[in-house]
Structure 1
């Protein structure tokens, strides 16, 4: 990918937006983490909702469409494949909603890329006909925190909290903004705002800046420093460790090597590998760097609570990939999406925290990003990949998403693949079919089994 493309990509990230595991041992939950795998066959009862997904759709202004949350059919063997079964219009906001998350008790949340609605709760229920519908969308009070990204639920000293990263923090005009909100998971009230701006702490002290990814193990939480949501010149290159006994940052670690496009590395998503994911594993943090094109490992000594020197595990600049984004997984494999050229790499879960390939890349489309795992009605194991980075652009263009650098990372599609072979079984292009872009996909009611963060 050429340097000009990445520079332009960075600018759009800055000016417009800125994408875990439920375990009984740690009670850490982010994204979907509910094991309800279906065992149906052609000759047994089928829960048709297990082949349906919830998607966040962005209206494209020059195409006359508006933002919504939709339920779509995802079974490539169905005559209704790609059909919107239900569509709930969202209010007009200053930026799109970006992520969907299910809490441990099944409540549905979304983070938003603007200031008007940076965090929302969505009431996903059933009507009198037992059909899934949305009957309420409530923007939540964040006490002034802007540009919500990731959510994580984690127990600290026996008490469950909801943690949210806000890349815009409490003041978007500041060059070093960014906060982590600590919420009561029952009332949605802010308990504490974790903030440590680099300009306001002593030199050499830990700081939090543009936090994006989040993950935790025990009493240690890690957040990444990616990009400023509004000021194009500010990009991060660190992760910060937070002590969950005090809710205070205790260490900031630089994650950077080469600068293939001239920007700082911009750590984006992070996964704290822990025994609840892989039995007997030596804990470590995995980090994807958006502009470094790399995946890193930071070993963690659970006894001494010391993080070792970061090690680079994967170098996309030499391997021909760029814009690594998400960590997802199932019972056997870890999956990492790479926006360029649009692939998902797969690794043996039992070999973590090292990255040992478990199969051929899944060839999706440009902007490969979020994903879900599920089965067809006939029982075939599937993976769906959302191929879209952001639905943001310049309204003076004929189509906001036809700007060259955005077009290269916005395919506006979902591709469905056989999970075992990687074979592509179907594609839904939302721009062509519905004149909308797709921001996120989650399993309906949290069906399926997924690790994220």
Structure 2
């Protein structure tokens, strides 16, 4: 009797275990769940949330976990470290940088636990991060130490989050080589270089930039500041920069927020710098403005968001400096950050976060889920109406949700 009972128990246990595995493989709830930074529209704390973005899921648009950071913190960009085992968010207020602790519940669903503030020294208004293979990460601070023409780059130890160095190069000291209002950052470790953009003063009125600056990532010395605008008086506000690396053609790409364009500069192996930037795509000719983010997939396709009127353009970059437009995807006003995934039925989609700093007409407060092949919008989550929040950025819950971003 005892033997029969043990065998029966084993069969039941194995059957249950197989069912659990099958269900887990089929459902993978966290594969279509994403982290979003958000700001409250009701005077409540800003924070981070976990949201389901598969339009085929019964809980599409449902927030399953929230972590409040504080009123006015304005979390801004979510990033994973090099090993994708630590999650960070930068912030425009509060402590400017936080490491986020997460875990998974018994169903495998991601859950936000707490946030640890990181000391950024005198550096204010946290923007972008870039983690390198040598145990560092770089962070742009659009506000610098708080001056009217300020800005800085923080260098951190990725193991303990300690600030190693603050890189400053005021325009007042050298108007030909400087760091001011840095937002975007990109690094080419093989070449030992990094580049930052000069975007806009944090109050969006005191000053604007129209350049990108190249630095040595090891000595932290400035190599060159490039004009990324039609003229010295054209305040184009370059917002993101991408140094193509690896298998991709060796160019630098930059988007101009107020210019509404895409710019390109070829790498010069002799000077070990980039040559001058030139405009490769003029948004105004297409009725487009406020060019923001760039993402690249492993098929040499470049996805660029245009906040006005809310589009994502897909380009072929295999023959740079020729930029071939492949398709235009329609999102909502404020089209900004993106994540890429497959729905439960295998459709390849991009989810677009539609909001830029709650700027009027660029703050839809939605997330559009668009099928890449057909361009059809499969679903939209209206966070403004449903939760009284605006999404600020978006990232995967199982690691980075794009092939190359910065």
User: What's the TM-score, normalizing by structure 2?
Assistant: 0.89
Q: Which residue of 1 aligns with 2:87?
A: 108
- Partners of 1:353 and 1:214 lie apart in 2 by 21
Secondary structure of residue in 1 paired with 2:30: helix
Q: Which residue of 2 aligns with 1:250?
A: 223
- Partners of 2:89 and 2:168 lie apart in 1 by 22
Confirm or deny that 1:166 pairs with 2:141.
Answer: yes
Which structure features the higher share of strand residues? Answer: 2
Q: Give CA-to-partner distance per residue, 1:145-173, whole Å, 9 cap, x none.
A: 00011000124xxx231000000112x1x
Confirm or deny that 1:347 pairs with 2:328.
Answer: no
Q: Quick check: 2:192–2:217 contact (8 Å CA) kept in 1?
A: yes
Q: Give CA-to-partner distance per residue, 1:176-213, whole Å, 9 cap, x none.
A: 20000000000100111110001123x53x11101010
Let me know the Cα RMSD of the aligned residues.
2.2
What is the CA distance between 1:306 and its match in structure 2? 3.2
Q: Which residue of 1 aligns with 2:10?
A: none
Q: Give CA-to-partner distance per residue, 1:234-256, whole Å, 9 cap, x none.
A: 11111101012311112111111
Written as runs of structure 1 = structure 2, the 5 A alignment for 1:241-280 is 241-257=214-230, 264-274=235-245, 276-278=246-248
Q: Quick check: 2:296–2:405 contact (8 Å CA) kept in 1?
A: yes
User: 145, 168, 178: which is aligned to 1:195?
Assistant: 168
- Partners of 2:204 and 2:368 lie apart in 1 by 33
- Partners of 1:229 and 1:119 lie apart in 2 by 16
Q: Give CA-to-partner distance per residue, 1:293-327, whole Å, 9 cap, x none.
A: 11111111134313212211011122210000000
Which structure would you say has the larger RCO, counting Cα contacts within 8 Å and 6 or more residues apart?
A: 1
Q: Which residue of 1 aligns with 2:64?
A: 85
- Partners of 2:292 and 2:266 lie apart in 1 by 21
User: 210, 216, 222: which is aligned to 1:237?
Assistant: 210
Confirm or deny that 1:57 pairs with 2:32.
Answer: no
- Partners of 2:55 and 2:105 lie apart in 1 by 27
Q: Which residue of 2 aligns with 1:216?
A: 187
Q: Which residue of 1 aligns with 2:117?
A: 139
Secondary structure of residue in 1 paired with 2:398: helix
Q: Which residue of 2 aligns with 1:28?
A: none
List runs of 5+ in structure 2 lacking aligned partners: 1-21
Which one has the largest radius of gyration? 2
List runs of 5+ in structure 1 lacking aligned partners: 1-40, 392-405
Q: Quick check: 1:263–1:291 contact (8 Å CA) kept in 2?
A: no
Q: Quick check: 1:56–1:438 contact (8 Å CA) kept in 2?
A: yes
Secondary structure of residue in 2 paired with 1:236: coil
- Partners of 2:204 and 2:77 lie apart in 1 by 22
